[in-house]
Structure 1
Amino acid sequence: MRRGILFFFFICFLLSFAADANAAEEKNKDDRGKNFAVAPIVISNPNIGSGLGVAGMYFFDLGDWRKEDPRSSVQAIGAYTNTDSYFYGLLSSLYLNHDTIRGNFGIFRANINNEYDIPWGGEANFSTGALAALGLLTYRVWDNVFIGGQALVIDVSYDPDTPADGDYLNLVGAEDSTTTGIGPVISYDTRDNVNYPSAGTLAELKGYYKPEAWGNETDYAVADLAVNHYIGLTETHILALRAYGRTGTEDTPYSDKSRLGQQSDLRGFKSGEVSGRTILSGQAEIRWQFTGKIGFVAFGGLAKLWDDELEELITEDLYYSGGVGFRYMLNTDQKINFRIDAAIGNDNNEGIYVGIQEAF
């Protein structure tokens, strides 16, 4: 981890130096009307290795847009790493009719070469290929309540490096599959800003029903609940809190298990190395806007998993991780941050994450 931490602080130093050199110019600069946010991605991720990529966002307005309405956006991202892993995708976030209708649509392609530590000794090396398309649409039915639905199609394939790695995949039940599902979405949103909230709450309940008749391995369902709460401690300090839970029915296949390290729950772990049918996690993050462009964060989290079929892979009663992060605001009007996070978890897990927008 020492090399990763040095890398993290080196990147932070370079960005801080560049920001200080342009401090006088940035002080009076207004990003209102700036439609682009582009940033390089320098990857050092426990799941895919180290590499380079780029992420960009384009902002636009739909219909009769008002100043207080969120701006719609399209985000493109792609990267390649030293483990011959790669991913790319396109995601749109749409706000229509004065934020009465919200939509998210995306398509993604990835090939990840995994190297998992096995609790009983050794490693499992295999590649995971995925192609996914998703869509979500909600309608504001009350002041802060949105109701709608979502749909997902994802094709997943596994390719073990050796017969022994194939035995590991058979043990956890990893099989090539095409998953199709639809389900409800209910959201409660009082955030003061959708990109960088300083107050308010976002609570989302989502579910998928995935019948065998649609090409799934069997009839099953999954559901998750996330609650993010934001407290403005001072003008420059924000406390961000997150509680997350996800579970599936008994026949949920390995490809759709809840995964430690997936998205931001929790940073520092390889996504998929520790999986279970049910996960509960909580996080806290302090965000400090040091200058108009420069910010820092400190975060920590806990997680618990349950699964009778994968109990040998769940080696801890409670998983934890913590870390620090650097922020550089690419667009002050829309409050879009470029972020670098360094995280450490138990069982010698670690990782550095680089991207656009906050972890939650």
Structure 2
Amino acid sequence: MIQLERIVLLLLFCCCTYVNAQTNTQKNKDSIVDHLKIAAFPVAFYTPETAFGFGGIGIANFWLKNEEIETRPSSVQLGLSYTTKSQFLLYMPFEFYKDDQKWRLLGEFGFYKYFYNFFGVGINSKEEDEETYEVTFPRARLALMHEVIPDFYLGLGYEFDNFRNLKIEEGGTLEASNVPGKRDGTISNVGLQAFYDTRDNIFFPTKGFYIQGNVFTSSKILGSSFSYSKFELDNRFYQKVGKKQVLAANAFVGSSSKNTPFYDLFYLGSKRTRGINNRRFQDNAELSMALEYRFPIAGRFGAVVFGSTGTVAPALKDTFKSAYKNAGGVGVRYIINKRDGVRIRADYGMSSEGGNFYFTIKEAF
């Protein structure tokens, strides 16, 4: 039986609002964007960490001035939510494409006052040790990428989180642990990023690869409170099967050094491993895999079936002998922007410890 405290999202308000604006470059030389399209809708939700919450999400798709409409559109999302536990979430992910996609600026700005789960560290952490901690932080993610050879991009990346006002349970699992970062701190990391991208659509790919690798190190010069480094490799593959069905696969591997703050550890319960409680298992290394079958139902509605397996360990070499945790589920999709394929996503995933609902914009991967 689905328990109320396991529900992550309950309601989508009954309507979506669309605002379309197109600019003609020949007539409006002052315009910096062409073919602007905006979709916005209100949402209400419930989670055990937030109780009831409400807010809105909007997404703008467009082409920068003089970019061909056959290239990928740039996009900016804006989300704002407030909960009955006085939590606040403001986030703005973005993607900009210029010079026939040879230059890409990707990232996110945000500000959060939020609760996260903590069960301890390691694949053998206990479900009964669950507790939550509250933290307030601004966030910045930036990556400037340039196409070196066709479909292969190389560039610089930056990560910033300023964790403060960290509130943990007195006498709890987190307070008793010796994990770095439990007394606040700033993440300020710089690094190299590379990716290979042959997807036919950034919002709903039906074919192609997306492979991204990141190597980051903390920077005391930029104000980091910690001294650590990390590596990530995110591999995604999409293949159309039949006329409108899509098979999507995701394999992820990540590893970080000692002294990684606990809120930047790798963890299961992400988009790849839906059905496992968020941050249920976390450690310095992760190896996980997910498979998803996407198919239309009728009109703007579609559905998915997904499954995943993954593990965490103190070091990457240990993930090959560590216990793996499995999850799976089903979901419903609704197209809010037919031109670009942007979808609302509502999923229900299950693991051996129960199930969770998820709701957001865009596919999980």
Shift of 1:285: 0.6
| Partner residue, 2:362 | 357
- 1:178-327 alignment runs, 5 A limit: 178-262=186-270, 264-307=271-314, 317-327=323-333
Q: Percent identity?
A: 21
- Does the residue aligned with 1:163 lie in a helix, a strand or coil? coil
Shift of 1:70: 1.0
Whether the aligned pair in 1 keeps the contact of 2:11 and 2:43 (CA below 8 Å) is no
Whether the aligned pair in 1 keeps the contact of 2:164 and 2:185 (CA below 8 Å) is yes
Task: Note closer, same or farther for the CA distance 1:318–1:356 as it changes in structure 2 (3 Å cut).
Answer: same
| Partner residue, 1:101 | 103
More relative contact order, 1 or 2 (CA 8 Å, 6+ apart): 1
Shift of 1:269: 3.2
| Partner residue, 2:349 | 343
Structure 1 residues not aligned, in runs of 5+ = 20-29
Shift of 1:69: 0.6
Cα distance in 2 for partners of 1:220, 1:5 equals 36
Whether the aligned pair in 2 keeps the contact of 1:45 and 1:353 (CA below 8 Å) is no
Task: Note closer, same or farther for the CA distance 1:83–1:346 as it changes in structure 2 (3 Å cut).
Answer: farther
Cα distance in 1 for partners of 2:94, 2:243 equals 31
**What is the one-letter code of the residue matched to 2:131?**
A
Task: Note closer, same or farther for the CA distance 1:129–1:346 as it changes in structure 2 (3 Å cut).
Answer: farther
Task: Note closer, same or farther for the CA distance 1:49–1:281 as it changes in structure 2 (3 Å cut).
Answer: farther
Task: Note closer, same or farther for the CA distance 1:169–1:246 as it changes in structure 2 (3 Å cut).
Answer: farther
Shift of 1:212: 3.5
- Does the residue aligned with 1:128 lie in a helix, a strand or coil? strand
| Partner residue, 2:337 | 331
Cα distance in 1 for partners of 2:173, 2:165 equals 9
- Does the residue aligned with 1:320 lie in a helix, a strand or coil? strand
| Partner residue, 1:35 | 37
Whether the aligned pair in 2 keeps the contact of 1:76 and 1:89 (CA below 8 Å) is yes
> How many residue pairs were aligned?
339
Structure 2 residues not aligned, in runs of 5+ = 23-34, 121-125
The RMSD of aligned alpha carbons is: 3.1
Task: Note closer, same or farther for the CA distance 1:126–1:5 as it changes in structure 2 (3 Å cut).
Answer: closer
TM-score using structure 2 length: 0.83
Match of 1:130 among 132, 137, 153: 137
Shift of 1:43: 2.8
- Does the residue aligned with 2:237 lie in a helix, a strand or coil? strand
